[in-house]
Amino acid sequence: MKKHNFSAGPAILPRTVIEKSAEAILDFNGNGLSILEVSHRSPGFTKVMKESIALVKELLNIGDDYAVLFLTGGASTQFFMTALNILGDDETGLYIDTGTWSTKAIKEAKLYGNIDVIASSKDKNFSYIPKGYSIPKDAKYLHITSNNTIFGTQFHNLPDTDVRIVSDMSSDIFSRPIDINRYDIIYAGAQKNMGPAGTTLVIVKKDILGKTNRKIPSMLNYETHIAKDSSFNTPPVFPIYVSMLTMQWIKENGGVEAMNKRNIEKADIIYNEIDSNPMFFSPIAKEDRSLMNVTFLLHDSSKEDAFIAAAAAAGCVGIKGHRSVGGFRASIYNSMPKESVQALVNVMRNFK
């Protein structure tokens, strides 16, 4: 039976990427060694790192005033590493709280400076993106979580401000075009749209660094990793390699513009079914619904197990909602084909 992987992460990867990765595990570039055992300083992997950085810049239209890094520690390390590197003792970082991951980012950033939470959607269980708040013009940066994997909301427009933005894009990086000039830092854990868990993409404007007058441990200093081309210590070779293959796949399939069009089409299919099927409903404000993580509920919650069983029987796996919110979550990242979304919709119709 064909499996339709709706897992939120580690998430679906293009089939061709998996096949090429499997080949490289056995024999990388025909040199008789596995990608799992080649030196990170070998010519073969040095080429992989350079191409990965070049692909990030090409896909997101990034200039040389930004550094592209492949680090470790996940987005969770970036929650504090961003503030540690750019927030001075007498400066303020602004945060918009839209769910679990932004809440964690706020907690970690408070260790390194003054943090002001200027808006939150906690009052309605993070079911919308806040609007109508004021943004102090003298802030160092404004942090947002662009897509909220657990609750299923997404920023479809950036806040109206001249304050520079720091963004956690772990679950929607490469899913749509961005205006890089609005950002000082973008970070993203790989395990959604880019590759397997193990590496974290960081895009940082170089001229904002080295200005906090703070002693920063070498491993937590962006300037360390920029100087060493992401190889200050041994980088996660295999996740970076798979990320490179995934970015090649995105490029070959039309780039982020094409991904965005496909993602809108897929989301429309499932949201239309949720809105028209009397068994289901979405708790998320329509204008803030995520194109990556579709969250929905049954009006009769006692039937949840039965629906999950029906979905599994049709090969649809990974749809159980996060333990903190319950219900269902269909993650429809870049490499999720439209046919898989339709398979889940068919289950919903038959369940009705």
Helix axes 237-252, 255-276, angle to 10 degrees: 80
pLDDT tens by residue, 307-327: 999 999 999 999 999 988 999
CB 116 within 8 A of CB 92: yes
Asked whether the domain spanning 15-252 has the same topology as the one spanning 4-13+255-351, the reply is no
> Is 90 exceeded by the pLDDT of residue 330?
yes
Q: What is the pTM of this model?
A: 0.97
CB 45 within 8 A of CB 237: yes
How far apart CA 170 and CA 190 sit, in angstroms, is 7
- Say what the pLDDT of residue 234 is: 97
Fold category of 15-252 in CATH: Aspartate Aminotransferase; domain 2 (3.40.640)
Q: What is the CATH number of domain 4-13+255-351?
A: 3.90.1150.10
User: Considering 97, 101, 184, 205, which one is annotated as catalytic?
Assistant: 101
- Say what the pLDDT of residue 352 is: 83
202 DSSP β-pair partners: 69, 187
Torsion angle in degrees (nearest 10) through CA of 167, 171, 175, 181: 10
Is 192 in the active site? yes
Residue range 202-223: mean pLDDT, rounded: 97
User: Considering 97, 140, 172, 192, which one is annotated as catalytic?
Assistant: 192
- Say what the pLDDT of residue 96 is: 98
pLDDT tens by residue, 254-311: 999 999 999 999 999 999 999 999 999 999 999 999 999 999 999 999 999 999 999 9
User: Considering 168, 172, 184, 288, which one is annotated as catalytic?
Assistant: 168
**Confidence band for 32, pLDDT divided at 50, 70 and 90:** very high
pLDDT tens by residue, 123-148: 999 999 999 999 999 999 999 999 99
- Say what the pLDDT of residue 97 is: 98
- Say what the pLDDT of residue 90 is: 92
- Say what the pLDDT of residue 339 is: 97
Average pLDDT of the chain, as a whole number? 97
Torsion angle in degrees (nearest 10) through CA of 328, 334, 339, 344: 0
**Confidence band for 334, pLDDT divided at 50, 70 and 90:** very high
- Say what the pLDDT of residue 60 is: 98
Q: List the chain domain ranges.
A: 4-13+255-351, 15-252
- Using the structure block, give the residue that is written with the tokens 């579709």: 294
Is 249 in the active site? no
Burial state string for 126-154 with b = 16 or more CB within 10 A and e = fewer than 16: bbbbbeeeebeeebbbbbbbbbbbbbbbb
In degrees, rounded to 5, the angle at the alpha carbon of residue 205 between the alpha carbons of residues 200 and 211 is 105
**Which has the closest alpha carbon to 269: 351, 322, 343, 320?**
343
> Is 90 exceeded by the pLDDT of residue 73?
yes
- Say what the pLDDT of residue 324 is: 85
- Say what the pLDDT of residue 323 is: 87
- Say what the pLDDT of residue 1 is: 81
